[in-house]
Amino acid sequence: MFRYLIAFSTLIFLGACQSDPNSVVQDIISDDGHAIKHMYVDETGVTDISVVISWPSNWSYDDAKNQAVPYLGASLFNSVGTAAMPPQDVASLLSDKNSRIGFFNTADYVGIEFEFPNNYENDIVPVVQAKLKDPQFDPRWFKKVKSDLRTYQTNTRKDIYAQTYRAVRYFILGEGPLQRNLSFDNTNELERATLDDVKSWYASHFSSKPMAISVVGPISSKNAKTLVDDLLRGLPEIATVASNKVDTNFEGTQIYVHQPDAEKTVLTFIGDNWVSDYRDKYADLLALRGFSQGLDSPLNKAIRNELRASYGFSADGFRYNTSTRAFYFVGEIEGAKLAETIDVVKMAYDAFKADPEIPEFAALRDRTSEEAADQGAYIDATARSLNWIQIDPLAPTPDDDNYFYIDETDFDRVKNRIKLDWPDANDLVIVATGPNPTDLSNACVVSDARDALGCR
């Protein structure tokens, strides 16, 4: 959606794990001094071990950096070979051992995740280490990846949702490197990027000092320590400090992105939604669902009753980095009713903010908690979440006095969050994308998403 969605469920299902004697989270320190979130899983049928490691990154905040390079690097990771094993042999090994190695890249950190059956550790871990320590790049794969990304850029310029979210980013973030990184729409940067740039990017990130490590599965704490030390030993020491502060603009305005060939109109509302207390994340999640989910939610009921329309909106939270957080409502609407729809949504939103009502709140909370807990059945999801709570500046630990889970979030907290902290309707950023700009006469009309800079 907006490229980075909030992991609302992280602490919910970890809470369930804490109460399960077969799945206990421990903070351990390896012999080489690495802090590890470790969960030993003793369940019938669970044989895989999942490892997630993250390193800080400030690439997205450096205006001198080519912001296409992280995309090339991330896409190339799985095709990187080692000095002893070409890429095709690495792929065959992973397939034969029913294992996988992946890479993730965000504005603030990069990382790897790999998973393997517990009897293949000695086959997989050395390969992962070699890919980190001495990656062997094939120029032919680099050309293919660049070609694929070029096609991706071309296709997204035709996608109405992609253009909507590009306009949102340009308006909120301006023209700095973070926006360039997240939008990934600068074809000149992609063309200028070289394989040497990618090698430099790799060398500047993968070090012996990661910011977060998690190991989950049927592996003892002793063996988890050894695995991590073996993996990271010999990597260079790099002192990278992520700089995630960025100026944002959430000033209430209306923007129309004119797409002459569009066959529909997409309407999006965005609101600033930063929190200083992790418990408010749970309140926001329940509030957004209460406002938008179901035929009888305040948002969809207003659209049905006031507009006599059958279309609806979805709502969620998103983040551009660990210091910028927002929520959105988005839906496909009838262009001729665009201005009227905006008025109806704003009135429904303001009424909800003034006097929040969520029928059957307890049932909504329980259902949300159960959905999140279901994700914890997978060791890779749990490993990612254990990694994330080491990165999120607002994440608590189970030792915190105020640590609690979503099923303990009461309606008073949700109501106070909505009434006191959510922006007013007139302070929402409203972006419509479609074929007819006359549908919204008072909007700042742009023909390209980047022109939303002029609407600030």
Give the CA-trace dihedral at 358, 359, 361, 366, to 10 degrees.
-130
Q: Do 111 and 259 share a domain, yes or no?
A: no
Low-confidence stretches of the chain (pLDDT beneath 50): 1-13, 15-16, 18-19, 21, 401-403
Distance CA 314, CA 215 (A): 35
How many independent structural domains does the chain possess?
A: 2
What does the pLDDT read at residue 378? 83
d(CA 219, CA 117): 10
Q: What is the DSSP string of 1-48?
A: --S-B--TTHHHHHHHHHT-TTEEEEEEE-TT--EEEEEEE--TT--E
Same domain, 46 and 121: yes
Domain of 97: which CATH number? 3.30.830.10
Classify residue 290: in a domain, yes or no: yes
Report strand pairing: 265-272 vs 100-105. unpaired
Considering the domain boundaries, does residue 302 fall inside one? yes
Question: What secondary structure does DSSP assign to 217-248, as a single string?
Answer: ES--HHHHHHHHHHHHTTSPP-----------
Domain residue limits at 40: 10-232
Domain boundary among 197, 232, 267: 232
- Domain assignment present for residue 385? The answer is no
Do both 287 and 179 map to the same domain? no
Whether 150 and 299 map to the same domain: the answer is no
Helix (H) or strand (E) holding 253, with range, is strand 253-258
Rounded Cα distance, 336 and 263, in Å: 13
What distance in Å separates the CA atoms of residue 164 and residue 179, rounded to the nearest whole number?
Answer: 14
Tokens of 364: 């909504």
Length of the chain: 456
Same domain, 364 and 447: yes
pLDDT of residue 158: 87
Query: Do 292 and 315 form a contact (C-beta atoms < 8 A)?
Result: yes
Q: What is the pLDDT of residue 400?
A: 54
Supply φ then ψ for residue 243, to 5 degrees.
-115, 90
Domain identity same for 210 and 346: no
User: Are residues 161 and 293 both part of a single domain?
Assistant: no
Paired residues of 255 in beta bridges: 431, 444
Domain membership of residue 246 (yes or no) is no
264 within domain boundaries = yes
Would you call 448 helix, strand, or coil by DSSP?
Answer: coil
230 phi/psi in degrees, rounded to 5: -60, -35
Cα dihedral 334, 338, 343, 344 in deg (nearest 10): 0
Q: What pLDDT is recorded for position 427? A: 97
User: Is 373 in a helix, a strand, or coil?
Assistant: helix
Q: In this structure, are 220 and 118 located in the same domain?
A: yes
> What is the Cα–Cα distance from 256 to 20, expressed in whole angstroms?
51
Of 174, 201, 232, the last residue of a domain is 232
